[in-house]
Structure 1
Amino acid sequence: FLTQQKLALAGILVTHHHWDHCHGVVELKQHYDVPVYGSQKEKTEGVTHHVQEGDQVELTDELILRVMDIPGHTLGHIAYYGPEMVFCGDTLFAAGCGRLFEGTAEQLYHSLQKLAALPAETKVYCGHEYTLNNLRFAKAVEPTNQRIDARMERVSALVSKQLPSLPSVMQEEKETNPFLRCDSTEVRKNVEKQAGKPLSDPVQVFAELRKWKDSF
């Protein structure tokens, strides 16, 4: 692909150790002598530079990224944030978020809040494109949110043309992603109904919301 598109590989950014995000790293390293960045808290084959919160990754003179620790999906999960963009792996998805494999709901909630605090115009490059299915869930959680309807219509049109819905934009995530809207009264009430019990704070809402999505 790189050869066909006449692209030069400057480096490889690994967000977490799951095989579907790093399985090809060693083979790529056999062909390209480039740095491979990954979490200091995880052992990932092929990583040459272990990084942590606050470190900077200089891919080119023009592209310098800052490392953010965002545990939850895995304990060592990281993101790379640069000018108007964030590569967030499986923590934040378009209209959704990753499953809890290693961390706690509280950890993942705070990691998502950390990402949501980035500038509104930040482009979100996530690890998988589940946008349409995520929006269907978002609609079930917050049925009166008209922004979800509008986004679903746009994404459906893109999918019908075999076009990507990514990257998304942080402002749109804050408006339509239920996992970033746990302080919404409608979200809380519908999650309480699904859970069959009152929920006293956004972290509890998030934990039950994630359980709901797991079985949706």
Structure 2
Amino acid sequence: MKILHIPCLEDNYSYLIIDEQTKEAAVVDPVEPEKVLDVAKLNGADVKLVFTTHHHWDHAGGNEKIKTLVPGIKVFGGSIDNVKGCTDKMDNGDKISLGAETNVLCLHTPCHTKGHISYYVTGKEDESPAVFTGDTMFIAGCGKFFEGTAEQMYQSLCVTLSSLPKPTRVYCGHEYTVKNLQFALTVEPENAKIAEKLLWAQNQRKSGSPTIPSTIAEELETNPFMRVDLPEIQEKVGSNSAVEALREIRKLKDNWRG
């Protein structure tokens, strides 16, 4: 499978997933449909499916338009997320196939929104899988708890997403990496992996390149929200449990002005 970044709005990403054998494609959160379809055309891809991570306008706002531009397109979204233009409502564990070699598993990852879905995509055996995490998980961060609790975010991040294979490539909904890593250093100033990745991310942005994808392995080393099971992280934020630490770090991030 081939995955292409499509920068949209100010700091959003849509993604084009192309099954290379058939050239059938899916788009993730096509908030600017014309832009996405232009990229598909340039790559000779035939867009058949839309994967919507959640109902917020900057992710689902292009669904109705893409349905008029591509008649018959299927639009997937969480069954309890009230996604605009949704034709196929998905629940945790539901599967979708794309082309000949690409398979998708829907993972319910609630908290940012109640019905948020992350899409876990596998291709040929020799390819690393990919996961499209919308606004549940960012590189070195997580989404605000708009419709859920710290318990739900813990389940989404530290149980569901953390258990994916370590080489899984992580594609999230926004380019927030530099700020997230700067904040992560305030939680773990001695974490050399965070400092190293921050330097790399700053260089990527200076050259106009994305900081995405990361991998699950990298996130477990550098994302404070995914490291809350560690007693030393809990201690740093004065908490006695992983969930409490997650709640506390989110509070600190909400009030942080980096």
Q: Deviations over 1:144-174 (max 9, x none)?
A: 0000111111111111100001011110000
Size of the alignment, in residue pairs? Answer: 210
User: 2-side partners of 1:41 and 1:94: how far apart?
Assistant: 26
User: 2-side partners of 1:93 and 1:154: how far apart?
Assistant: 16
Output aligned runs, 1:146-165, within 5 Å.
146-165=192-211
Displacement of 1:5: 4.4
Output aligned runs, 1:134-173, within 5 Å.
134-173=180-219
Q: Compare 200-209 and 177-186 and name the one that shifted more.
A: 177-186
Q: Deviations over 1:84-125 (max 9, x none)?
A: 111111001000000000011110111001101100000001
Q: Which runs of 5+ in 1 are unaligned?
A: 193-198
User: 2-side partners of 1:115 and 1:4: how far apart?
Assistant: 33
1:207 maps onto 2:247 in alignment? yes
Q: Which residue of 2 aligns with 1:8?
A: 46
Displacement of 1:4: 4.2
Instruction: Write the letter of the residue equivalent to 1:102.
Output: E
Question: Going by fraction, where is strand more abundant, 1 or 2?
Answer: 2
8 Å contact from structure 2 (residues 166, 217) kept in 1: yes
User: 2-side partners of 1:44 and 1:215: how far apart?
Assistant: 30
Displacement of 1:44: 1.6
8 Å contact from structure 1 (residues 10, 60) kept in 2: no
Displacement of 1:82: 1.7
User: 2-side partners of 1:8 and 1:120: how far apart?
Assistant: 31
Structure 2 counterpart of 1:93, from 138, 145, 152? 138
Please state whether the residue corresponding to 1:129 is helix, strand or coil: coil
What is the aligned-residue RMSD (CA, Å)? Answer: 1.2
User: 2-side partners of 1:8 and 1:128: how far apart?
Assistant: 25
User: 1-side partners of 2:223 and 2:175: how far apart?
Assistant: 14
8 Å contact from structure 2 (residues 234, 240) kept in 1: no
- Percent identical pairs in the alignment equals 41
